[in-house]
Structure 1
Amino acid sequence: MATPREEVRPWPALWALVVGFFMILVDSTIVSVATPSILNDFGTDVGNVIWVTSAYLLAYAVPLLVTGRLGDRIGPKKMYLTGLTVFTLASLWCGLTSSIAMLIVARVVQGLGASMVTPQTMAVITRIFPPDQRGRAMSLWGATAGVAILVGPILGGVLVDGLGWQWIFFVNIPVGVIGFALAMRLVPDLPTHEHKFDLLGVALSTIGLFLLVFGIQEGQKYDWGKITGPISVWSLIIAGLVLLGLFVFWQSRNRNEPLLPLALFRDRNFSLANVSITTVGFAVTAMAFPLMLYAQAVRGLSPTKAALLLAPMAIISGVLAPFVGRLVDTTPPRFIAGFGLACNVVALFWLSQIISPDLPIWELLLPMALMGVANGFMWAPIGSTATRNLPMHQAGAGAGVYNTTRQVGAVLGSAGIAVLMESRLAHYLPAMAGGEGAASGGKLPEALHQGFSDAMADAMILPAAVLVIGLIAALLFASPVRRQSDATAASGDREGLRG
């Protein structure tokens, strides 16, 4: 039963939704600062601990195309509440685990819950806000995403220092309960649309992405050779790419209702925005790992102090959000997003050049501040550009595609940075190539500081280089043209709320 039109209040509904969205995105990066503590508790290596993040991101990314479509079919409110419940219960499980393997499994379940929640936030924005307010609404959504990903390590540091790494998961329980209560009260029941499900597409995309990420992340561990018997790292990567290629081919041939509506990519801005957000997801996830390991293993900072290095990013990004929100509806998005992405590229290259054992902390904070400017300017215009022309009946599908590309970027960022860090450690410090030397939970011996710093500095170049691709895509955004059909479509969907 749809909510009567007169009871729909778009802004309270959006604020209710971003509570859960914020919590889920915090969990994308909160583990990075706890890496040394988890290494120490479970006696494992960097590659295994990064799987705690990669497993979450992979389970988050792969189902997004399906969960976005499910939101259209059974209603975004029902999907949001279901996902929030799964996520909150899985958070409890994560905190109670006693082995690295079980923690990874629990993170998979947590990621599945997150995948049910995220597309619904964008779909609701698209469906309940008129086009002339959608930019401001997407600015709030984008600011939430940017700040949450930066707050994750800071909150994680405080919790790890004060209560233990388990509390980075336990803290989700009260937040999840509050988010559930707010959504129940404030989010409207929207009209649903019938959709069929492409089971072959689900299988091809799921297996292909898993093989690709697993192969990339485990490559260094197996020296890019045999894993077991005839199975090699390269065979997994190639098989993953082939399956993903078959997935795209099948989507182009499926005449019923494909999992990935390729027709959406006919819109230039939607396609380019997906490229940009993929690189953003990659870079934001990737940069946190080398920075946190350097801060704790070389500089001897506690998890809290290490995470506070990211405070300038979070603060500046949050302060800029209202200002950028006003710009989004009046300024061509390529200028806003391009400026933000350019700042991020410069900041990451800057970090790669200055990281050293004796660098004054205040010098480290300068590129962090520039990264805050970058995050303030890039999230909202990329998101609003992607969603502006989405057909109302495909709001969930389009949001699912957009969030999938962002999360695929994050998964590849997590896997790629793990490979590069281990490779550079093998080059500079062969005796601790797997990162085991950082597992003591304290500062490395001084003789290892220079090599470890050099390895982490080299790793920072990867997210910077990937962001250059996103910058080029953003500079090619077309200026949005206000169309009467936009307002008509949004009005018609809201009219459906009469029930």
Structure 2
Amino acid sequence: MAAVTVFVPVLPRRRAAVPAWAICANALGVAALVLGVQGTHAARADVWGVPRWLLACAGTALVLAVVRIQRGQGLGALVPITLLRNRGFVTAAWGGAAASFCSGSAMIPLMLYLQRERGLAPGPAALTLVPMGVVCVLGAPVSARLNNRVGARAVAVTGSCALVAAIGASAALVATDAPIPALTAAFAVYGVANSFVWSPFSIAAVTTVAADEVGAASGTFNAVKQLGAVLGSAVCAVLLSGFGYAATLGGLAAAGLLCLLSSALLRVDPPGAGAHSSSAGLSRPATGVA
């Protein structure tokens, strides 16, 4: 009798369907949070008679409650609790949300400033951002190559620095009523940020989790990133109503520092490590007797 090694394929676990109540409760919580931050009228401290601070707190508590209630459901949860215990994923999600918070709102005060304070029509005001779009398109393939050559962390730090520099410079230029070409040049740097900052966080979000958690990690990362953009727009509206264009841009630049911090802490598996571990996990040895 001789012992032989038989390789038995191990298929990834199938993720259970997420309960409808969890999806609805999470959507309701996010809606309450956004309404609490932004409100329906800048001069009112309540929404339909409910204090805005209470709405924001209740919305946050509801989202956290959904996560907590589902903590024992594994991959069947709306947000698997294992993702929140993974430092690599949490750092990537934090960075993606911070980047969305800034980049999704920065053009709002700039466009309002150009039209209301500098007298530009909507068309000419939009044309001032054309160089930003051109730089973004040209920088995208460069960012893709650098992710493989120097690593995602270095690319993320570069993009985050460009994000903070572009929005901070725009705040200073708006405060001093600088020439419009100077604003155009500052926002061209914003194009570098947009082409460099997104892919590293996406890569880190899915390469630092187990193979059967990749789908959940991708969905959760995108949801958190969209939440950051929504909250950024809400906060931008509040700042615009109370502090003006330059202060709003300055606040967004300060929030961009959180993106820079998460970029510096970003954890990404070395190139090829994910593929190696995945191929190794496709089979396991089992000993049988022939």
- The two structures share one fold, judged by TM-score above 0.5: yes
Q: 1:423 aligns with which of 237, 242, 255?
A: 242
Q: Which protein, 1 or 2, shows the higher relative CO under an 8 Å CA cutoff with sep ≥ 6?
A: 2
Amino acid at match of 2:55: L
On the 8 A contact 1:201/1:250 being kept in 2, the answer is: no
Can you list the C-alpha shifts for 1:119-141, whole angstroms capped at 9, x where unaligned?
xxxxxxxxxxxxxxxxxxxxxxx
Amino acid at match of 1:457: A
Q: 2:60 aligns with which of 241, 251, 267?
A: 241
Name the TM-score, length of structure 1 as normaliser. Answer: 0.50
Unaligned runs of 5+ in 1: 1-190, 425-454, 493-499
- Structure-2 change in CA distance of 1:232 and 1:295 (3 Å): same
Q: CA deviation at 1:339?
A: 1.4
Matching of residue 411 in structure 1 with residue 200 in structure 2: no
Can you list the C-alpha shifts for 1:125-177, whole angstroms capped at 9, x where unaligned?
xxxxxxxxxxxxxxxxxxxxxxxxxxxxxxxxxxxxxxxxxxxxxxxxxxxxx
Can you list the C-alpha shifts for 1:372-405, whole angstroms capped at 9, x where unaligned?
2222221222221222244444433221101101
Identify the structure with the greater helix proportion: 1
Residue 196 of structure 1 aligns to a residue whose secondary structure is coil
Can you list the C-alpha shifts for 1:332-382, whole angstroms capped at 9, x where unaligned?
322110111012112111111111585211111221122122222212222
**Cα distance between partner residues in 2 of 1:418 and 1:278:** 18
Residue equivalent to 1:205: 26
- Structure-2 change in CA distance of 1:357 and 1:334 (3 Å): closer
Residue equivalent to 1:27: none
Higher alpha-carbon Rg: 2
Q: 1:468 aligns with which of 247, 257, 261?
A: 257
Residue 240 of structure 1 aligns to a residue whose secondary structure is helix
On the 8 A contact 1:220/1:423 being kept in 2, the answer is: no
Amino acid at match of 1:205: N
Alignment of 1:218-237 (within 5 A): 218=39, 221-224=42-45, 226-229=46-49, 231-237=50-56
Amino acid at match of 2:35: F
Residue equivalent to 1:343: 162
Residue equivalent to 2:6: none
Residue equivalent to 1:480: 269
Unaligned runs of 5+ in 2: 1-11, 284-290
Q: 1:333 aligns with which of 145, 152, 155?
A: 152
**Cα distance between partner residues in 1 of 2:100 and 2:92:** 12
Can you list the C-alpha shifts for 1:284-320, whole angstroms capped at 9, x where unaligned?
1111111111111122222221112222221112112
Residue equivalent to 1:215: 36
**Cα distance between partner residues in 2 of 1:375 and 1:325:** 12
**Cα distance between partner residues in 2 of 1:357 and 1:467:** 22
Superposition misfits of 4+ residues, deviation over 6 angstroms:
none
On the 8 A contact 1:217/1:415 being kept in 2, the answer is: yes
Q: 1:397 aligns with which of 206, 216, 224?
A: 216
Alignment of 1:345-360 (within 5 A): 345-356=164-175, 358-360=177-179
Q: CA deviation at 1:198?
A: 2.6
Q: CA deviation at 1:281?
A: 1.0
Q: Percent identity?
A: 30
Amino acid at match of 2:51: S
Matching of residue 309 in structure 1 with residue 148 in structure 2: no
**Cα distance between partner residues in 2 of 1:253 and 1:369:** 47
On the 8 A contact 1:269/1:478 being kept in 2, the answer is: yes
- Structure-2 change in CA distance of 1:394 and 1:255 (3 Å): closer
Amino acid at match of 1:247: V
Q: CA deviation at 1:220?
A: 5.6
**Cα distance between partner residues in 2 of 1:334 and 1:256:** 28
On the 8 A contact 1:276/1:470 being kept in 2, the answer is: yes
Name the TM-score, length of structure 2 as normaliser. Answer: 0.84
Matching of residue 195 in structure 1 with residue 8 in structure 2: no
Q: CA deviation at 1:235?
A: 1.8
Matching of residue 324 in structure 1 with residue 113 in structure 2: no
**Cα distance between partner residues in 2 of 1:260 and 1:304:** 42
Q: 1:282 aligns with which of 80, 83, 101?
A: 101
On the 8 A contact 1:352/1:461 being kept in 2, the answer is: yes
Amino acid at match of 1:257: G
Amino acid at match of 1:377: F
On the 8 A contact 1:299/1:357 being kept in 2, the answer is: no
Can you list the C-alpha shifts for 1:61-89, whole angstroms capped at 9, x where unaligned?
xxxxxxxxxxxxxxxxxxxxxxxxxxxxx
Residue equivalent to 1:292: 111
**Cα distance between partner residues in 1 of 2:51 and 2:145:** 52
Amino acid at match of 1:400: G
On the 8 A contact 1:219/1:419 being kept in 2, the answer is: no
Identify the structure with the greater strand proportion: 2
Q: CA deviation at 1:193?
A: 4.1
On the 8 A contact 2:75/2:213 being kept in 1, the answer is: no
**Cα distance between partner residues in 2 of 1:320 and 1:255:** 39
Amino acid at match of 1:319: L
Q: CA deviation at 1:488?
A: 4.8
Residue equivalent to 1:260: 79
Q: 1:271 aligns with which of 85, 90, 102?
A: 90
Residue equivalent to 2:3: none
Amino acid at match of 1:237: A
**Cα distance between partner residues in 2 of 1:197 and 1:339:** 37
